Amino acid sequence: MKLSYPDPHTGAPMNDIDLQTPQLYINRELSFLEFNHRVLEQAKDVRIPLMERVKFLCISCANLDEFFEIRVAGLKELIEAGALQTPMDGLSVPETLKAIRDRAVRLVDEQYQLLNDSLLPELAKNGVVFLTPDTWTEAQSEWLADYFGRQVEPVLSPLALDPARPFPKILNKSLNFAVVVEGEDGFGRNSGLAVVQAPRSLPRLIRLPDELGSRHFVFLGTIVEAFVSRLFGGMRMRGCYQFRVTRNSDLFVEQEEVDDLLRAVEGELAQRRYGDAVRLETAHDCPEEILAYLLQQFGLSGEDLYKVSGPVNLNRLMAVYDLVDRTELKYAAFTPSIPERLKIAGDLFATLRSGDVLLHHPFQSFGPVMDFIKQAASDPQVLAIKQTLYRAGSDSAIVSALADAAAAGKDVTVIIELRARFDEEANIELANKLQEAGAHVMYGVFGYKTHAKLVMVVRREEKGLRRYCHLGTGNYHPKTARLYTDYGLMTADESIGEDIHEIFLQLTGLTRVPRLRKLLQAPFSLHSALVAKIVRETEHARAGKPARIIAKLNALTEPTVIQALYRASRAGVDIDLIVRGVCCLRPGVAGVSERIKVRSIVGRFLEHSRVYYFENDGAREIYCGSADWMDRNLFRRIEVAFPIEAPDLQKRIADDLNLYLSDDCNAWTLAFDGHYARAGTAFEVNAQARLLTQYDDRPSPLTES
């Protein structure tokens, strides 16, 4: 099928092409960097409380770290392996790396310009001061010198470099200093260069006593640079320069060589800290000869070097948020509400027998989910509890309840995903705790991450055994439930209970692909069902029937789904996509995606819920789930999407989606050239703020803007 398509940069008509032409797709890596720029824009937004802006800056830096650790590292691995396949957007791997470099340099420059020219001066105006040596008073200097001598110097180990002492191992993302000295030491040595590593046990942000300045702080790097000469007695200091290396942090476990997944993951974790280097960050004034030396030691080129005008790890600035007790500089506190049916319920099981309960976090409390598991753990009529855990946190009340249930003799089965990125160590600890309590702990299906969020409780009742279930779009993690927007469905629906039973049989045993009644499951039915539902909307539009698609996702990258959406748009289906992060689809392309609109919501809470809405000629279908529309979620993970069937709950979600589509405070719209612009300038509708008000009968704790 040939299509008329405008150039993505100029809008001018181009030759006819088909739906697989690379010009119809946005590069995934560049789309992520655009998302991270939207996060950084939150740090620039003067409508947002000052300390929250600092947090957004830190989040943008943490996002960029992970991007280099995983995505850039993966691209470099492809080059080394000679696997230079061209993705759907047509950019080769070397071209993608070059484009990443160009965009990332601008992004880093913006981060430090914002810090130095805006945030630090504004913090100082509000009494939160970051001191530099040129501003220290005599009393402050004396206190900091004493602090260095008592708390810092004893744990520092200067490593002079010479043939007998080679370049040391440098931990991933650790703070280090290249120190240049002159003169001979007691052995007549004069190598000129030493490395000082800052142990991770040292706080990166030091608060001075109130008598030396209330809410006055100094970065650890600043203190080390000021007093590092004490480590080199009798030598002349020529310079001290911060540097940090980012390493490949993706875990790789070879299926054919693994007998024990837990031990294999533990082994990989030990290697993560010293993976291949992918990025070097240094102080902006570091001499060229030292830069060249460091790049050589890490096996990097000049394209991997990022010079920064400030601390090499801005993430550490996040600590100031908890150290400063200025509520007026932060978002107003809020108390998540509890649905009325649950407020008056003494027995959750009886409540669920009378109808489904839909929770919308963080606007509604995560407490009922924990109560559900705690009640199941203590109820003598409950025989079994089965649950998946992807991220639960290191100190989880849910895990404690499961352990109590197992210790009480209930059959407790937990599927723990050991490879939940950067939560592997915490998950290993949880697995050991549950096993010690007598729970059955398994790690899912090798080669497929278990990303579905499921709880099933089996209870003996008068009419026989009955299943009670919770299905969610987010993790069983009370802390992130205060920060992420997610939906959770609590239900006693027999068909859903039977489907979850079949899925747990699959996860713990050996079964054929189950025929599920209501749930959609990846890697089996989810992708084909989504495409079929998009095709159905396409056919409705061609027949003149009501047709519409709304999808709320974290990311959209899967080509066949994108192509199905393009066909639906050409047939007349109105499509609204609320995609927080990466989006490879180009909206607004003449003759291809004119009816597709893409927006991204970046606000106080991390938009994490996944919702799939299909108008279906008036008989609308709404699914919530754990899966984004990405290749990994649809084909390489165990995911579940669940239907919202009760009319009142369907209306709630439809109303929520329409609220997000009207947001003009936190929304950004995607143009066909791959760039985003703010959705509006009136700043009248803040979806997250309105949801806080909507779910609470008290006055809104947030202003609209």
Phi, psi for 525 (deg, rounded to 5): -100, -15
Structure tokens at 141: 């200097």
Number of neighbouring beta carbons within 10 Å of residue 59:
19
Residues classed as catalytic: 451
Q: E strands of 256-356, at which residues? A: 277-283, 305-308
Cβ-contact 548, 571 below 8 angstroms:
no
Which residues have C-beta within 8 Å of that of residue 88, sequence separation ≥ 6? Answer: 20, 22, 25, 559, 584
* Burial status of residue 571 (CB atoms within 10 A of its CB: 0-12, 13-18, 19 or more): middle
Residue with tokens 């329409």: 658
Residue 242 is encoded by which pair of tokens? 């911060």
Q: Say if residues 575 and 568 touch (Cβ distance below 8 Å).
A: yes
Phi, psi of 445 (to 5 degrees): -110, 125
Asked if 78 and 289 touch (Cβ cutoff 8 Å), the reply is no
Q: Sheet harboring 176-182: ordered strands across?
A: 158-160, 193-197, 176-182, 236-247, 277-283, 305-308
Q: Are 243 and 294 in contact (CB under 8 A)?
A: yes
What whole-number distance in Å separates Cα of residue 11 and Cα of residue 124? 46
639 neighbors 452 (Cβ within 8 angstroms): yes
Residue with token string 């919770």: 470
Burial (Cβ within 10 Å: 0-12, 13-18, ≥19) of residue 692: buried
Q: How do 193-197 and 484-491 pair as beta strands?
A: unpaired
| Cα 523 from Cα 527, distance rounded (Å) | 7
